[in-house]
Structure 1
Amino acid sequence: MPSDAPVPGAFDRGLLAPVAVGQDALVSDEAVLGALVGAELGLVRAWAAVGALPRADADEMGAAWGGHPDARAARSRAAGIDAAELAEAAVAGGNPVIPLVGLLKQTLPERLRPWVHRGATSQDILDTALMLVARDAVDAVLASLAEAEQHLAAFAAEHRDTVAAARTLAQHAVPTTVGLRAAGWLSGLGRASTRLRQLTLPAQLGGAAGTRASFRELGGDAAAALPAHYAEALGLDDAGMVWHTSRWPVTELADALVQATDALGKLAGDVVTLSRTEIGELSAGEGGGSSAMPQKNNPVAAVLIRSAALRAPQLAATLHLCAALAEDERPAGAWHAEWPTLRELLRLTLGASAHAAVLSAALRVDLAAVARNLALTHGLILAERLSIVLTPVIGADRVAGLVAAAGAGGDVAGLLRDMPETAGLDIDGLLDPAGYTGDAAVAVERMIGEEHP
C-alpha cells in the first residue's frame, strides 16, 4: 500500500464534523443496516398478522435476524451482515436492499426463503428503514431539547428582573431583561419540540410501482390489511397512501429538524455575541483554548451548534429539490440523493441538540458587565421613554437637546432638575432602566408557566 493511501476503516469518524462526534451512533451505517433488517422483519410479521404465514415461522425468521424488528440492539447486529461489504455490493444495483435480500435468505432454511422481502420493492424497505432511523434520532433530539428547555426555564426565572441593554441592528435600543432574552430562546426550542412530536413517520409498502398488486396477488383480500400491520409491527405510522414519489414524510421531517437547528442557532449566536470579550455579559463554563493564544476561553459548544445551524437549511433545501424532482413512480437519482442528505441532517440535529443541553446548563451571567454595558450610553438607552414622557412637557426640541447631552456624557438628571416644567416628575424613576422593561417579567412568567408548569 502506498504511504499516502487511505487507511481502511470508517470514512467519516467526525474529524471534520466535531458537532456530531459521540452523538451520531443512531444514524451510523450500522444503525441503518439494523433498520433495514428490521424493516424486512416487520414485513414478515405483517404477513403473519394477516394469516398468510404461520407465526412460528415468523418467529423463526425473527430469531435468525436478531429478534423483534424494533429491538435496537438486535437490529444493530443485523444478522451478522457486514455494513462495509453490503455497501460494496450495493453499487451494482444502486441500493443496499438488493444484496441484503440475498444475504438474509442465506440465514434461513429453504422453506422460509420465499417469505423474505415477499411482494416488496427496494424502496419500501429503504424508505421504511430511514423512517425507523429518523424516529430513533428524533426521540434523542427531543430528549436533548427537553433537557435544554429545563435549564433555560430555570435560567430565565433566575434572571427575570436582570435588566440589560437590548440591541437592534447591533446597537443599543431600549432596556430588556436577561430573563426575557432566555424566554425567547425557550420559546424557539419549545415550538421546535412541538413540531418534532407532531411528525408523521410512516412505513412504506407499495410494491413495485405503488399499486400493491404483488401483495394482492400473493395474499388475496387479506393483504389489504398488510400495510397497517406492517406499520404496527415497526411502531411507525400508517400513511394510508403509498409515498414513493410523494415525499412529504421526508420534507416535513427535514423542515422540523431545521426549525430545531434554527432555534438552537439563535441561542448559540446570542451566546457567541454576548460572551465577546468587550461585552462579557454571558459565559458558558470552561471553553476551549487556542493552539496559539493561551488566554482564550472560546464558547466552543455555541460555536459547534452554530456550525450545524448554518449547514442544516441547505440540506433541507436539497430534500425539497429531490421531492420536486421525484418523477414517475420511482425517482431516478432524486430518491438516492435523499439518503445521505437526510442522514446528515439528522446527524447535525443530534449533535447540536446534545451540545445545547450542555451549553444551557453552563450559562452564567456577569452582572457587573450587564450593568456596565447598560450604562454605556449615559442614559440614551431610555431615549424612547424620554421622548414619550417629556415631549408633551418640554417640547421635542428640548428633548433632542437632552438626548444630545446624554450622548456627550452630560448629566441628564441634573439638566432635568433645572427645568421648572419637570418639577413634578420623578426624575430618578424616569431615568431608571428597570422602570422601562414593559411586560418583560410577565412574559417570562407566562413562558415558564406554559412550557414548564
Structure 2
Amino acid sequence: MAGSAHDSAIYARLFDAGEASKLFTDTAEVRAMLIVEGALAKAQGALGIIPELSAAAIHRATLEITLDPGGLGPAAAVNGVPVPGLVEAFRKEMQAPEHAQYLHWGATSQDIVDTGLMLRLRQLLGLVEGNLREVLKSLSDLAAAHADLPMAGRTYGQYATPVSFGSVVAQWGNPLLDCLDDLEGVNRSLLVSLSGAAGTGSVWGAKAPALRAALAEGLGLTDPGRSWHSDRGPLLRITGWLTAVAVALGKMGEDLILMAQSGVGEVRLGQAGGSSTMPQKQNPVQPSVLVAVARQVIGLNATLQGAGLARQERDGAAWFTEWLTVPQLCLSAATAAEVAKALAPGLTPQPVAMRAAFDQSQGLMQAEALSFHLSAHMPRPEAQAAVKKLCRQVIAEGGDLGTAARADFPGIDLSPVFDGTAQLGEAPAFARKFAVRVRNA
C-alpha cells in the first residue's frame, strides 16, 4: 500500500480529492514558494528596499523558471526546510547574479513556506466551498420534496418518535450551511507571513510594515500586522473548519450506512459496491468513505492542535508535524466534499420500508403522544403509568399499542395519536426551512 491513499494508483479514485490533489504535490509547493519569492521581490523593489531593476528581473524569472523538486531533497534533508535549496537552485538557474543576489532579501524560510501554503489553502477552500454548495443544492431538493414523509426517529439505535425524511436530510445539511456561514471568517485567516529571522522584521527597519502590507496585497492574502511564526492559530482555524466539514459529512455517511442496511432499506443509494464472493451485496461504499475520512481528519486535527504548542520564536518539531498532517487532512476533507457531491443526488427514500418500521414498532413510537393525549382526560402521572403498563403488555404479549389502548380506553378517540403524519411536530417545517436557507445562502 502506498504511504498515502491519495497517492495510490489503487485507492486514489476511492478517496478522490478531485482538483485538490493537485495542490498538495512537490511541484505545487515549489511553484507556490516561487510565486511568494517573486511577489516579495516586486514589493521590495517598489519600496526601494532592493533595486527596482533587480526586483523586476527576479519577479519575471519566478514566473518562467521551473525547478525540479527532486533537486531540493538533499538540501532539505540537511537544513530541515526546502527554502535554502530553492534559493540556491533558483539563483543558479536565473544566471544573473547581479540580480539574483537580491532574491529572498531579509526573509526567512518560514515566511516563504507558510505564505506558499496559504496560497494553496485559499484554492482548497474555494474548491471545498464549491462542492458543498452542490451538495446542499441536492439535499435541499430532497428535504423539500420529502418534508412530510414520515419515518421512524431513533435514539440510542431504538425507535423513538416519528420524524420526517426531509427533517433528517435537513439535519445533515444545516451543519454544512453553518460551515459556509463561517467561511468568511476562515478566509480572513489566510495570512501572509513576513517577519524575518526571529519575527521582528529588523532587516527592513521602518519599512517592514509597509513591505508586509504590500506583499499581502500582491498575493491577495490578509496582512496580520504581526508575526505568526509561533502562533499557529491561523492555520488551526482553517484546518478546524475543514474538520467541521468532514465531521458533518461523516455524520451523513453514518446515517446512510444504517438506513441502507439489510432489513432496514429506508434509502436507496444511487451507487453501490459489490462483493468478490457475494453477488447479492450492495455495499454502501460512498457513505463508508465519508465516515472513514472523517475519522482520519478528526485524528489529524487533534495532532495539529498539539503542534500548536510551538516553542519560542520558531519550533522545528511543531512545524514538521504540520507538514506530516496538513496535506493529509486537507485532502481527506476535500475527499469528503467530492464524494458527498457525487452521493447526494442519487439518494432515494423508500416510503414502503419507512412505513414498515411503524408496523414493526408495534405502535410504540406513539407512546409519548398517547401519554400526552390521555393527559387531557386524567392526571398526567396516571396517564404515564397507564401507557407504561400498556407498553410492557405489548412487548411481552405481542400485538400493537393502538389496539391495546383502544381496548383500555374505548371512550377516548385515539385516532389523532396513531395517525403517523399527525405526530411529526415541527419536522416538516424544519425541512422546508432548511430548503429556504439553502436557496438564500
- Deviation of 1:391 after TM superposition, in Å, equals 4.4
Change over 3 Å in CA distance of 1:431–1:243 after alignment to 2: same
- Deviation of 1:39 after TM superposition, in Å, equals 1.5
Question: 1:210 corresponds to which residue?
Answer: 199
- Deviation of 1:365 after TM superposition, in Å, equals 0.7
Question: 1:43 corresponds to which residue?
Answer: 40
- Among candidates 103, 123, 130, match of residue 89 of structure 2: 103
- Deviation of 1:321 after TM superposition, in Å, equals 1.0
- Deviation of 1:411 after TM superposition, in Å, equals 5.1
Aligned residues of 1:27 and 1:137 also touching (Cα < 8 A):
no
My pick for the range that moved more, 205-214 or 193-202, is 193-202
Aligned residues of 2:167 and 2:428 also touching (Cα < 8 A):
yes
Question: 1:307 corresponds to which residue?
Answer: 292
- Deviation of 1:179 after TM superposition, in Å, equals 0.5
Change over 3 Å in CA distance of 1:316–1:11 after alignment to 2: closer
Which secondary structure does the structure 1 equivalent of 2:345 belong to? helix
Once residues 298 and 19 of structure 1 are traced to their aligned partners in structure 2, the CA distance between those partners, rounded to angstroms, is: 16
Change over 3 Å in CA distance of 1:240–1:291 after alignment to 2: same
Change over 3 Å in CA distance of 1:449–1:55 after alignment to 2: farther
Once residues 392 and 25 of structure 1 are traced to their aligned partners in structure 2, the CA distance between those partners, rounded to angstroms, is: 65
Change over 3 Å in CA distance of 1:241–1:134 after alignment to 2: same
- Among candidates 113, 121, 129, match of residue 116 of structure 2: 129
- Deviation of 1:114 after TM superposition, in Å, equals 2.1
Aligned residues of 1:405 and 1:411 also touching (Cα < 8 A):
no
In structure 1, what residue type is equivalent to 2:195?
A: G
Question: 1:235 corresponds to which residue?
Answer: 220
**1:156 matched to 2:152:** no
CA distances 1:420-448 after superposition (whole Å, capped 9, x unpaired): x65352x2222112111111122222222
Normalized against structure 2, the TM-score is what? 0.91
Which secondary structure does the structure 2 equivalent of 1:286 belong to? coil
Which secondary structure does the structure 2 equivalent of 1:378 belong to? coil
Which secondary structure does the structure 1 equivalent of 2:127 belong to? helix
- Deviation of 1:147 after TM superposition, in Å, equals 0.8
Once residues 155 and 56 of structure 1 are traced to their aligned partners in structure 2, the CA distance between those partners, rounded to angstroms, is: 60
Once residues 212 and 152 of structure 1 are traced to their aligned partners in structure 2, the CA distance between those partners, rounded to angstroms, is: 49
**1:334 matched to 2:318:** yes
Which secondary structure does the structure 1 equivalent of 2:33 belong to? helix
In structure 2, what residue type is equivalent to 1:423?
A: G
Gaps in structure 2 of 5+ consecutive residues: none
In structure 2, what residue type is equivalent to 1:215?
A: W
Aligned-CA RMSD value: 2.3
CA distances 1:278-312 after superposition (whole Å, capped 9, x unpaired): 11111221211112222212111111111110011
**1:62 matched to 2:59:** yes
Once residues 415 and 182 of structure 1 are traced to their aligned partners in structure 2, the CA distance between those partners, rounded to angstroms, is: 34
In structure 2, what residue type is equivalent to 1:12?
A: D
- Among candidates 227, 248, 260, match of residue 275 of structure 1: 260
Once residues 151 and 22 of structure 1 are traced to their aligned partners in structure 2, the CA distance between those partners, rounded to angstroms, is: 19
**1:175 matched to 2:170:** no
Once residues 417 and 303 of structure 1 are traced to their aligned partners in structure 2, the CA distance between those partners, rounded to angstroms, is: 44
Once residues 190 and 239 of structure 2 are traced to their aligned partners in structure 1, the CA distance between those partners, rounded to angstroms, is: 12
Once residues 357 and 136 of structure 2 are traced to their aligned partners in structure 1, the CA distance between those partners, rounded to angstroms, is: 27
Which secondary structure does the structure 1 equivalent of 2:7 belong to? coil
CA distances 1:128-167 after superposition (whole Å, capped 9, x unpaired): 1111111111111111111111111111111100100000
Question: 2:386 corresponds to which residue?
Answer: 398
Aligned residues of 1:245 and 1:327 also touching (Cα < 8 A):
yes
Once residues 11 and 162 of structure 1 are traced to their aligned partners in structure 2, the CA distance between those partners, rounded to angstroms, is: 39
Which secondary structure does the structure 1 equivalent of 2:225 belong to? coil
Normalized against structure 1, the TM-score is what? 0.89
In structure 1, what residue type is equivalent to 2:272?
A: G
- Deviation of 1:418 after TM superposition, in Å, equals 4.5
In structure 1, what residue type is equivalent to 2:216?
A: A
**1:13 matched to 2:13:** no
Question: 1:260-409 maps to which residues of 2 (within 5 A)?
Answer: 260-324=245-309, 326-391=310-375, 393=377, 395-396=382-383, 397-407=385-395, 408-409=397-398
Question: 1:439 corresponds to which residue?
Answer: 426
My pick for the range that moved more, 364-373 or 16-25, is 16-25
Identity fraction in percent: 32
Once residues 127 and 153 of structure 2 are traced to their aligned partners in structure 1, the CA distance between those partners, rounded to angstroms, is: 34
In structure 1, what residue type is equivalent to 2:392?
A: A
- Deviation of 1:409 after TM superposition, in Å, equals 3.6
My pick for the range that moved more, 394-403 or 81-90, is 394-403
**1:31 matched to 2:19:** no
Which secondary structure does the structure 2 equivalent of 1:229 belong to? helix
Gaps in structure 1 of 5+ consecutive residues: 1-5, 68-78
Question: 2:77 corresponds to which residue?
Answer: 91
Change over 3 Å in CA distance of 1:170–1:126 after alignment to 2: same
- Deviation of 1:173 after TM superposition, in Å, equals 0.3
**1:192 matched to 2:179:** yes
Aligned residues of 1:50 and 1:223 also touching (Cα < 8 A):
no
Once residues 223 and 400 of structure 2 are traced to their aligned partners in structure 1, the CA distance between those partners, rounded to angstroms, is: 70
Aligned residues of 1:378 and 1:406 also touching (Cα < 8 A):
yes
Change over 3 Å in CA distance of 1:409–1:130 after alignment to 2: same
Question: 1:70 corresponds to which residue?
Answer: none
Which secondary structure does the structure 1 equivalent of 2:320 belong to? helix
